[in-house]
Structure 1
């Protein structure tokens, strides 16, 4: 891990490889380690970089008063500190929501968008009753002292979690900070970025697991219909974390997409 001061916070990140910058933004209750199969495969052609969002991994705590705009601005400050823009930037789940807000506020940093099983906020992509159920479920989990985030929530995988990643998932789950989830949960529940989708002007890759029940395939179609220059790749026999369950297919889709639309500034 490397550390850098950006936007008044200490940001931890992983970096490896040579070539155009390919940035990965993890989901909630995760950190940069979740991108292990992408680091293993894509560093032959790309400079692969993944941050630990504030409040995750080895980064500073997430300030209590941060909202989605603050987190996106923090991502922008980190990208600018490392001189990474414009870059291919991929976001998973909650990370994709952060990435959408980054694009709204700092479009010059984004060469292309890669959105994996994400949302236009829960309010923007899910029925109201589903949002209420998720908030209630997470609130119950956070109310139990010492409760560890479950890395095998229904819908994260189409089948059993891949055996090779179970220790990794357990290690990441053990490091989840409940205070971070308490801040992020209402943000996700109240966010609706559907107005932004038709305004996205950069090439956009949508990667979805066919069996994803966290962000169902209907959300992928919502994105595909709304974003003008978008390509949808559906990964069979995969759930929400398709990049772990079927890394070969996801990495191939990412590689081909990045070849088609390289950033204007290669590294």
Structure 2
């Protein structure tokens, strides 16, 4: 499916009937990365996953786009779907987009679900770690074939299942390097930590215990400062816990969404 949002063509997948749960993918990803959630949650929820601008089947990311622009495109897309307040979930970079979306469009959010994410790199990681990640990203993107390694350290607690590795290889083969450069530049400078204590909707934090990209210290900080937050730690999972341990993640999402239905839902 696709729609036009703020002048851009946005591809998305929508399945199921029930309260809406919207999933936002990480950098070097697209909506296909939520396949295990579509496979399990559509029996009770309307599950939606977009390809953000510059990813998957969506229009290229305009070169001057900011984090706020991306959040506004998401708002326009959801308006076109006439969903009302929704559960909004994001992994990694997608969680940073989620926070900016909440900052700018809180009336569209029933709950927040943050999965192994950041309040921007600057807002969650030590300065030396941010510098190291920026340097690493530049080196990766300078490689001639501009390939992205889907098994980068910290994404998984152990070797990913073959079907997950195949899915990631397919997705990363379609990554647009210009999009990834822009996402990483935005992430390196983003600091949304000031927003965390001002979140007023129920918030679910799902973290892989073995996440090396966004370590548990980030999750505990989020849990400490977000007033109405619940932390679920997934054993034997890394940064992509929703792929590595989908049963546990989906169970946590299902329970949380049942406990906090959007206004007007039965």
TM range (shorter): over 0.9
1:250 paired residue number = 249
1:22 paired residue number = 21
Query: Is contact 1:28-1:94 (8 Å) kept?
Result: yes
Residue 265 of structure 1: CA displacement? 2.9
Matched, 1:3 2:2: yes
Query: TM-score, length-normalised on structure 1?
Result: 0.98
Where does the alignment leave 5 or more consecutive residues of structure 1 unmatched?
none
1:233 paired residue number = 232
Cα distance per residue 1:37-65 (max 9 Å; x no partner):
00000000000000000000000000000
1:128 paired residue number = 127
Matched, 1:188 2:187: yes
**Runs of 4+ in structure 1 displaced over 3 angstroms?**
none
Residue 85 of structure 1: CA displacement? 2.6
1:48 paired residue number = 47
Q: What CA distance in whole angstroms lies between the structure 2 residues aligned with 1:76 and 1:162? A: 35
Comparing 75-84 with 194-203, greater Cα deviation is found at 75-84
Q: What CA distance in whole angstroms lies between the structure 1 residues aligned with 2:60 and 2:145? A: 18
Q: What CA distance in whole angstroms lies between the structure 2 residues aligned with 1:265 and 1:96? A: 25
Show the 5 A alignment for 1:87-126. Answer: 87-126=86-125
Show the 5 A alignment for 1:65-104. Answer: 65-104=64-103
Where does the alignment leave 5 or more consecutive residues of structure 2 unmatched?
none
Query: Is contact 1:208-1:220 (8 Å) kept?
Result: yes
Q: What CA distance in whole angstroms lies between the structure 1 residues aligned with 2:192 and 2:165? A: 33
Matched, 1:153 2:157: no
1:217 paired residue number = 216
Query: TM-score, length-normalised on structure 2?
Result: 0.99
Determine helix, strand or coil for the equivalent of 2:117.
coil
2:259 paired residue number = 260
2:37 paired residue number = 38
Cα distance per residue 1:209-242 (max 9 Å; x no partner):
0000000000001100010000000000000000
Q: What CA distance in whole angstroms lies between the structure 1 residues aligned with 2:95 and 2:131? A: 21
